[in-house]
């Protein structure tokens, strides 16, 4: 459940930045979220579930690598 909090709160902040900021900073926030934050967050969850080692977290930066863990990431409620 805490995982979903850390997934959804930054999205809400990006949406807020989209509507409140006059410039396009929200694009930078979105890119950081997608390219850096989510792979690391998903990596920590997969390590906690003992599906990967800490040394393999970097592989989640590879596009579409997380698809093999889709069910465990989004539907296991541990």
Between the alpha carbon of residue 72 and those of residues 13, 17, 42, 43, 52, the distances in Å are: 26, 31, 10, 12, 12
What would the pLDDT profile of 27-74 be if each residue is shown by its tens digit? 999 999 999 999 999 999 999 999 999 999 999 999 889 999 999 988
Ordered by start, the domain boundaries in the chain are 2-75
Q: What is the pTM of this model?
A: 0.85
pLDDT of 13 above 90: yes
pLDDT value, residue 77: 72
pLDDT value, residue 78: 64
């Amino acid at each position: 459940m805490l995982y979903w909090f850390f997934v959804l709160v930054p999205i809400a902040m990006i949406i807020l930045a989209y509507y409140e900021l006059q410039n396009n900073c929200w694009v930078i926030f979105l890119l950081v979220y997608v390219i850096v934050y989510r792979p690391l967050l998903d990596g920590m969850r997969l390590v906690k579930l003992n599906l990967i080692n800490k040394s393999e977290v970097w592989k989640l930066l590879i596009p579409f690598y997380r698809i093999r863990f889709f069910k465990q990431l989004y539907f296991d409620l541990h």
